Amino acid sequence: MKPMRVYIDTSVFGGYFDDEFAAETKRFFSALSQGRITALLSEALIRELENAPEQVRALLRNVMMRSYEPIAVNEESVNLSKAYIQAGIVGERHADDALHVALATLARADVIVSWNFKHLVNPLRERAFNGVNIASGYGLIAITSPADIIKTLEVSDED
């Protein structure tokens, strides 16, 4: 089976070191190292993690030493993120979350993975992001947690 192309949100890197999310996040990164997942890493993610604790930056460097797809911020992604904000999906304070969704949408990621349940892993917001995507001529994007990605991979193993 072809690896899933997964846009990784900033919260997943922090989740690796958070007691609440560590177990599932470590399983996610294990699947990544096994080649079952292709990481999509954006300039926005890398910029956000520049001032993160060293252990988080080291995890990012480790992922970047493997195969990954770099995703550049460009005018199209900025404009799409602004459309999300104008639609009221997220406020200006959370423009980075909107930019992550725009970047993943334009990269045609299979899914965005995040532990941000307030602004990203939320069915109502996912539907709203996709409404803007469709109205703007883009495809749909799925947003889920690392735990759900692991469950998906386990189910595919059973087939």
Cβ-count burial of 151 within 10 angstroms (0-12 exposed, 13-18 middle, 19+ buried)?
middle
pLDDT band at 27 (very low <50, low <70, confident <90, very high): very high
Q: Note the pLDDT of residue 9.
A: 96
Class of domain 4-158: alpha beta
* Residues 54, 141: Cα–Cα separation, whole Å: 31
CA distance 131 to 84: 9
Q: What is residue 135's three-state secondary structure?
A: helix
Which pLDDT band, with edges at 50, 70 and 90, does 138 fall under?
A: very high
Q: What is the residue extent of each domain of the chain?
A: 4-158
Tell me what the mean pLDDT of segment 41-62 comes to: 96
- Tell me the β-bridge partners of 85: none
Answer with the residue of higher pLDDT: 117 or 155: 117
Spatial separation of the C-alpha atoms in residues 26 and 128, rounded to whole Å = 30
Whole-prediction pTM: 0.95
Q: Region 85-96: what's the mean pLDDT?
A: 97
Residue with tokens 């349940």: 117
Q: What is the pLDDT of residue 155?
A: 81
